Chain A
Amino acid sequence: QVTLKESGPVLVKPTETLTLTCTVSGFSLSNARMGVSWIRQPPGKALEWLAHIFSNDEKSYSTSLKSRLTISKDTSKSQVVLTMTNMDPVDTATYYCARMVISHTYYDFWSGYLSGGWFDPWGQGTLVTVSS
């Protein structure tokens, strides 16, 4: 059974850096056909994809948040870590990690070969509030 679980602070102050950990089980982060993404959802609003990472350490980031995000993984611990700098109240959201099932590979001029796919399953999510 594949499961993912997010962990991290429930409250951060403006300008602080958020660090979230996704611990996975039921699949390996070294599986070439899988990856892990982070997705967030502000209260009452739509889903927003943030970043993903794959077994070969390939990474992609949201265009609008790229300067603030870093994704990394520790395969031995089955963990994927997302850091987001300079947190603001508008970043208040439920943060999900999800397994990405790779559908295909494509070539990006700036980043080389990347992968695309769908998200299944998702973690339970963790609500992060940004407030002083």
Chain B
Amino acid sequence: DIQMTQSPSSLSASVGDRVTITCRASQGISNYLAWYQQKPGKVPKLLIYAASTLQSGVPSRFSGSGSGTDFTLTISSLQPEDVATYYCQKYNSAPLTFGQGTKVEIK
């Protein structure tokens, strides 16, 4: 099975900072990658699919890039409401594996 590895596992940044989270697949998955945001105590929410397509209603400060094995989620200007754990998920083929998550906090 293809493994999904996120880094870092956690980060602390200041409001307004640019934040980048990476997700690496153990084998190529083309652009079949989604990103989810899970705020504390809440249900996961889709942010990005097809590696770089922003889901409707998601703020434009979120962006995704990558193809093959290496992907990034970028928050261009971190806001207090972005405190959450972020997960990548591959969907090229089953099993539809998630990364282990990256917890984002405000410094």
CB-based contact A37/B96 at 8 Å: yes
CB-based contact B49/A46 at 8 Å: no
Roughly how many angstroms separate A37 CA and B98 CA in the complex, as a whole number?
13
Q: Which residue in A39, A60, A114, A118 is a CB contact (below 8 Å) of B49?
A: A118
- Interface residue SS majority, chain A: strand
User: Who on chain B is nearest to A94 by CB?
Assistant: B43
Tell me the total A-B contact number using a CB cutoff of 8 A: 73
Known contacts A47-B87, A63-B1, A125-B43; A120 and B98 CB within 8 A of each other: no
CB-based contact B46/A114 at 8 Å: no
Q: Interface residue count for A (Cβ, 8 Å)?
A: 28
B29 to chain A, nearest CB (A): 9
Chain A residue contacts of B43, Cβ below 8 A: 96, 121-125
- Interface residues in B49-93 by Cβ distance below 8 A to A read 49-50, 55, 87, 89, 91-93
CB-based contact B94/A119 at 8 Å: no
User: Who on chain A is nearest to B4 by CB?
Assistant: A46
